[in-house]
Amino acid sequence: MAKLKGLTAKVEPHHRYKTPHQIYDIKTQASGKSPRKIAGATLTKIAGDLKIKPDLSQLKFDKVRESILGSHVLYQQYHNGKPISGAWIRVDVDKDGRVFNIRPVLVDAARQVYQVHNGQIKGVFWLGEGGVAMTDVSPAAPGIGEYSQDKLTGLVTLGFTPLREITCNVEGAVTEHGYLFTVGAIIKELLARASLDLSWQVDAESFNGIEHTQPATVGTFIDTPALISDTIDALASGLGLWVGPSRLGVMQIGRLDKPLATPHATLADADIISLTEAPLPPFLSPPPQQIRIGYQRNWTPLTQFAGVVTGDLLSTLQQEWRIASAFSSPIAATFLRSQRPAMAPSPLYYKADATAEAQRRLDLETVSVNGALPRILIVDTDLYVYQLELGMTVQLDYERQGLVGWRGVVVAWSESAIDQRIGLTLLG
C-alpha cells in the first residue's frame, strides 16, 4: 500500500503510472468549511503525488453533487489548456466535513494514453480520428495512424498527436463472470459494485429469467461520476424493465409483458372488495400507431471530420441515435387521433433487437389479451395478501362487470397489515 505526503490514508496506486488511483480511509478533522474548500485544500496537499501543480491550475472545478453520503466535488483535468477526455478527480466529503474517498482517473497526455474503461475490457474494435479509422497494432508500439490497446487495463495508446477528436467503439467491461453485454448481467454487476452481497441480496431466478427474455446486446458509457441507481434506472427503463426489492428484501428484475395464459391468482365475485377503472396514462390514450426505439447511441456526435469521411459513415457519426420502428396499420385506420410518440432511447446496439423491442411495445400498448384496448383496473381483496409480486398475472372472474376471464399484470400493489387487504393495479 502506497503512502502520501501530508495526508494519512490508504492508497491504491495505478499499476502502470504509479499515481494514486484510489485514496480512502482518510484521517482528517471535521471542518465547517464548504465542501469545495475542503476538497481544494486536500488536493493541494497531495498535488505532488497526483503529479499535478500545487496551484491546481491543471484542474477545473466542475460542480458539487449531494447524496446521502455527503458532498461529491468534481474536477476536470486539463493539459496545455485543453480538457483531457475521461480525466476526472472526485473528492467525496462526508456530512461532518471529513474527506473520505478520492477517485482520480489520470491519463498520460504526453504519451497519448487514453483510458476507455476503468478495468479490463474485451477490446476496442474501432478507433478513429475525426471519423477516420486508425489501425490496431497491439501489442506492438504504434506509429502514425496506429494505436495499441491494453485490454487488461482498458488503456489505449496512440502513436501520434491527433488533430481531430478521438473516438472509439468498445466491447466493454470484463469481470470474473466474463464479458458483460446483456442488461441483466450489467445491472447485476452494478449492484455488486454498490457493495451488495450477491449471495443473498439478488434474486437469481429473476436475473436468470431476464437473460432469456432480454438476451440482446446492450451498452452504456459513463464518463463522469454518476449514481449507480441512476445508471440502473436508465438501463432498465430503456427496455421496459423494473428493478427493485422483493418482499424478502432481495433485488429482483422483471419486464412488463402481456398477462400469462395461466394466472398466478384468480379472483371471483366474492373475493373482490372493490373494483374501479383508472384512466389510461397519456402515452396510451389515444393508442400509439407507431413506436420508435433509439439504438446504437453515438456517445460523441462529431462536428469536425476529415475530408474522406462521407456518406452513411458521416451521417452516423453526426447523429446521436439510430432509430428502429414498428407501425400498426389497424390502429392508424381505426383511431384518427392515434399517436406517434417521440423516440424512446434504449441501450440496445443492433437494429434487429431495437425493431423487435419496438414491436413488443406496440403490441403491449395497443392489443390486449382480453380482446380490446388495454385497461387499468384497481382491485382490493383480502386474498393473496403477502403473496403477489410485480409482473404476476391475476385473472378476474367478476360477472357484475362482465369481467369473466379478464387477465391483467400487476404493475403496482399496496398492502394493509391491519386490514389484511391488498390493493392491486392491473394492466390488461
**Whose CA is closest to 333, among 287, 285, 283?**
287
Q: Which long-range contacts (CB under 8 A, 24 or more apart) does 9-12 make?
A: 11/49
Residue 66 has a pLDDT of 61
Decide: 428 and 407 in contact? Cβ < 8 Å.
yes
Decide: 218 and 171 in contact? Cβ < 8 Å.
no
* Cα(208)–Cα(130) distance, integer angstroms: 41
Q: Which triple of cell numbers denotes residue 336?
A: 384518427
Show the domain range for 247.
Answer: 180-255
Are both 199 and 135 inside the same structural domain?
no
* Cα(248)–Cα(244) distance, integer angstroms: 11
Residue 68 has a pLDDT of 44
Are both 170 and 156 inside the same structural domain?
yes
How far does CA 176 lie from the centroid of its chain? Answer: 20
Residue 37 has a pLDDT of 87
Query: Does the residue 260 lie in any domain?
Result: no
Are both 314 and 274 inside the same structural domain?
no
Structural domain ending residue among the three candidates 122, 139, 174: 174
* Cα(425)–Cα(263) distance, integer angstroms: 15
Alpha-helical runs (H) found in 262-380: 311-318, 329-334, 351-366
From residue 409, how far is each of 241, 265, 394, 425 by CA, in Å?
14, 11, 6, 8
Are both 169 and 185 inside the same structural domain?
no
Are both 26 and 96 inside the same structural domain?
yes
Are both 247 and 311 inside the same structural domain?
no
Count the Cβ atoms, other than its own, within 10 Å of residue 231.
16
Residue 27 has a pLDDT of 65
Angle, vertex CA 56, rays to CA 53 and CA 57, nearest 5: 90
Decide: 403 and 372 in contact? Cβ < 8 Å.
no
Are both 245 and 308 inside the same structural domain?
no
Are both 36 and 98 inside the same structural domain?
yes
DSSP string spanning 310-341? -HHHHHHHH-S-EEEEEE-HHHHHH-TT-B-P
Query: Does the residue 164 lie in any domain?
Result: yes
* Cα(25)–Cα(9) distance, integer angstroms: 5
Angle between helical axes of 228-237 and 183-193 (0-180°, round to 10): 170
Are both 210 and 344 inside the same structural domain?
no
Residue type, 4: L
H helix or E strand, kind and range, residue 276: strand 272-278
Q: Which triple of cell numbers denotes residue 168?
A: 472509439
Structural domain ending residue among the three candidates 104, 135, 150: 104
Query: Does the residue 285 lie in any domain?
Result: no
Decide: 368 and 428 in contact? Cβ < 8 Å.
yes
Count the Cβ atoms, other than its own, within 10 Å of residue 410.
22
What residues contact 5, with CB distance under 8 A and at least 6 apart? 45, 46, 48, 49
Are both 80 and 99 inside the same structural domain?
yes
Structural domain ending residue among the three candidates 73, 104, 135: 104
Cis amide prior to 279 (ω within 30 degrees): no
Are both 269 and 417 inside the same structural domain?
yes
Are both 414 and 274 inside the same structural domain?
yes
Q: Is 384 left (phi over 0), alpha (psi -120 to 50) or beta?
A: left
**Whose CA is closest to 280, among 210, 348, 335?**
335
Strands 290-295 vs 344-345: parallel, antiparallel or unpaired: parallel
Count of the separate structural domains present in the chain? 5
pLDDT per position in the chain (428 positions), as tens?
456 677 777 676 665 566 766 665 566 666 767 888 888 888 888 888 877 888 888 888 888 876 545 677 888 887 777 776 556 777 766 644 433 323 223 367 678 888 887 788 888 888 888 888 999 999 999 999 999 999 998 888 999 988 888 888 888 788 877 888 899 999 988 888 765 444 557 888 999 999 999 999 998 887 676 778 888 999 999 999 999 888 877 889 999 999 999 999 999 999 999 999 999 988 888 999 999 999 998 888 888 777 777 888 888 888 889 999 999 999 999 998 999 999 999 999 999 999 999 999 999 988 787 778 899 999 999 999 999 999 999 999 998 888 999 999 999 999 887 889 999 999 99
Q: Find the CATH number of the domain harbouring 78.
A: 3.30.310
Query: Does the residue 67 lie in any domain?
Result: yes
Its pTM stands at 0.72
